[in-house]
Structure 1
Amino acid sequence: MLQLTWRPLDVGDAKASADLLNAIEAVDRIGENYTEEDTLQELVDPYADLERASLAAFDGDVMVGYMKVRHRPTADVVHRVFLDGGVHPAYRGRGVGGALVDAGVAAAKVVHALHHPTLDLVVDVHKAEHIAGVADLVRSRGFAPVRYYQRLEHPLGDAIPATPVPDGLRVEAWTEEHDEDFRFVRNEAFQDYWGAAPMPADLWRNKITNQTFQPRLSFLARDGAPVGVLVTLWWEADTAETGIRDAHFMVVGTVRDHRKRGIASALIGHALRAAADHGYHRASVSVDSADASGAAAIFEKAGFTPTTRHVRWALPV
């Protein structure tokens, strides 16, 4: 019988977490490699309550599975908590994943009662569609697919053309002085995106302007006031593993009143040219397949092509 030690995650688990996630990547091939600094950044997420809402399984000193729940700083009507986790490939099919999902749903109820007790609770799981066993596991716990997200990629090189900027618009690179303008536009632009919520300053620093942030490839569009944003991240561990420098467009958005003017296309073209000029081999982005703003079409028109698809699974509790 499998004998494991179970306890909540803590910030001292960054190395063990990175080792586990890299072992998972070696089999699942979802394109996510980690350094210890990357996993530490996730462990210090201000909205991940490790004591109340995380669990890790250890075989000796080796982490073989984990789950972590992140609650929302703000919510309206529905509080969607995010349940993340994984199991070492050598330990799958032995009940570890099921135990972690069950613990995650229970933990979601705990943090929900602390932060948004009057709202409806939904637990979300986001996983690559091709990972063996995930669909059967989450379906067995009552989760159902509610959204699909497509990863798109664009090879870079000298052939990337310059994209004209619409009249009256100015595109500028990120500076610390204007960081709040970037966050403001992101929050305004994503108000009507499914499942999105405003990012407070502490979450912005944790998820966006961390060690993966690429300020030279992050741009703001102004029409007097800031109206569009594109933020790029890069993961050192991915390049170390694959040899490919991938500029990931993590945030791309335009405030509602300025859409249909070519602002997003101008930002994408500007960022593609900048990434090529700075020695990146590829650009990538993840888009909601059902996004009413037509993001997928904008990226496909810019030359992006689909690769991996992810599924958002949801469980109303």
Structure 2
Amino acid sequence: MTEGFTVRHPTLDDVPAILAVVEASDIATVGEPDFTADEVREVLTAPGHDPSKDSWIAARPDGGVIAWGFIESTTGDHALIDVYAHPDGGRPAQAPLLRLALARMAERVRESGLAEITVRTGAIASEEHWIGLLKASGFAFVKRYARMSRPLSGLERFPDLPDGIALRPVRPGDESDLRTVHTVLRAAFADIPDAIRSGFEEFKATVEALPGVSWDEWFVAEADGRAVGALQSADQGAQDGEGWVKHLGVLREHRGKGIGRLMLLTAFATYAAKGRSRAGLGVDLTNPTSAYRLYESVGLYPVYEADVYERKLAAGFSPT
């Protein structure tokens, strides 16, 4: 036991307790919950994530969970980690959970044969304790993301398409269609610092591991019969009445023609037809494709901003 709590690896039975911690943390930092039970399960069951090695919870003597630390994903030489702490008594657990996550990442680096890996995590500016721990652990600020949202009135309509442009939903169970989405998104994000690095098989495995996929909310844009854009939605906010745009990409040579806007308006109309009350997405504020201006033009506005911190982690790293 450390400072009144014990640390153990979670199971799926812990999802409700973990969600309670994350929701309390979100409410304290951004004013509202921004995570769902399905997202907790998605982390714990994601390909390449072993909860018995890659996830930890801190619990009081009475069993109440007060913090959750985890390795969210690892793609090539980049990885994401996070530690959520309940604002009522969870902060003392953040430091030991961060050390466990970094030690496990170093172990993964050694297992993969890489010399080092870039580890990233996020923080809201008001999380001074967490940011202090990150800086003390060698992390430095990199950039800022915005979480954007807009209301849906139910009156949203599908846009008229110009000649030569077609939009269609992704066909369920069609691997060639899924491959098209991956190919377009990977190419569209190639000139962005946080490019989609995963290969198709990894992308496919991640999708197949999701609790659910609303294929009629995924879209492919075609120009004269060629796929030039893709929009991938996520079900993460469906239970709360939110449609979520996970990825939106248009090939470089077809940007500036309104294709991204058409896909967004199509997604919004689809969400609204299902009774969703709002739509949302996240955007990198350093994105060189003017994505933020596009999102503002379709009615999205920033709800909050989150900072990204990173550090290099070598195979020989040992937490102090």
TM-score (norm 2): 0.85
Instruction: Give the CA deviation at 1:105.
Output: 1.7
Instruction: Give the CA deviation at 1:272.
Output: 1.8
Instruction: Name 1:184's counterpart in structure 2.
Output: 183
Q: Is the contact between residue 46 and residue 209 of structure 2 (CA under 8 Å) also seen in structure 1?
A: no
Distance 1:279 1:180, change over 3 A: same
Instruction: Name 1:143's counterpart in structure 2.
Output: 139
Q: Is the contact between residue 47 and residue 209 of structure 2 (CA under 8 Å) also seen in structure 1?
A: no
Instruction: Give the CA deviation at 1:237.
Output: 7.6
Match among 85, 95, 98 for residue 87 of structure 1: 85
Q: Distance in 1 between matches of 2:312 and 2:84?
A: 21
Q: Distance in 2 between matches of 1:137 and 1:262?
A: 43
Instruction: Give the CA deviation at 1:203.
Output: 4.3
Instruction: Give the CA deviation at 1:264.
Output: 0.7
- The reply to whether residue 102 of structure 1 matches residue 104 of structure 2 is no
- The reply to whether residue 214 of structure 1 matches residue 214 of structure 2 is yes
Instruction: Name 1:278's counterpart in structure 2.
Output: 274
Instruction: Name 1:23's counterpart in structure 2.
Output: 24
Query: Per-residue CA shift, 1:124-164, capped at 9, x if unaligned?
Result: 00233344532222222221110111112122125545534
Q: Which letter does structure 2 place at the counterpart of 1:229?
A: A
Instruction: Name 1:226's counterpart in structure 2.
Output: 227
Instruction: Name 1:242's counterpart in structure 2.
Output: none
Instruction: Name 1:67's counterpart in structure 2.
Output: 69
Instruction: Give the CA deviation at 1:97.
Output: 1.0
Instruction: Name 1:112's counterpart in structure 2.
Output: 109
Instruction: Name 1:299's counterpart in structure 2.
Output: 295
Q: Secondary structure at the match of 2:46?
A: coil
Q: Secondary structure at the match of 2:88?
A: helix
Q: Distance in 1 between matches of 2:140 and 2:284?
A: 17
TM-score (norm 1): 0.85
Query: Per-residue CA shift, 1:11-66, capped at 9, x if unaligned?
Result: 4433332233233334333532422x432221011122433333221224222212
RMSD: 2.5
**Identical aligned pairs, as a percentage?**
19
Distance 1:139 1:293, change over 3 A: same
Unmatched runs of 5 consecutive residues or more in structure 1: 240-244
Runs of 4+ in 1 over 4 A off after TM superposition: 202-205
Unmatched runs of 5 consecutive residues or more in structure 2: 314-320
Match among 239, 244, 250 for residue 248 of structure 1: 244
Q: Is the contact between residue 123 and residue 315 of structure 1 (CA under 8 Å) also seen in structure 2?
A: yes
Q: Distance in 2 between matches of 1:125 and 1:6?
A: 21
Query: Per-residue CA shift, 1:193-212, capped at 9, x if unaligned?
Result: 22233334444453587335
Instruction: Please show how residues 155-166 of structure 1 align to structure 2 within 5 Å.
Output: 155-157=151-153, 160=156, 162-166=158-162
- The reply to whether residue 126 of structure 1 matches residue 127 of structure 2 is no
Q: Secondary structure at the match of 1:91?
A: coil
Query: Per-residue CA shift, 1:40-98, capped at 9, x if unaligned?
Result: 2210111224333332212242222121124534x3xxx221111211222244x3111
Q: Distance in 1 between matches of 2:113 and 2:195?
A: 16
Q: Secondary structure at the match of 1:149?
A: strand
Q: Distance in 1 between matches of 2:280 and 2:208?
A: 16
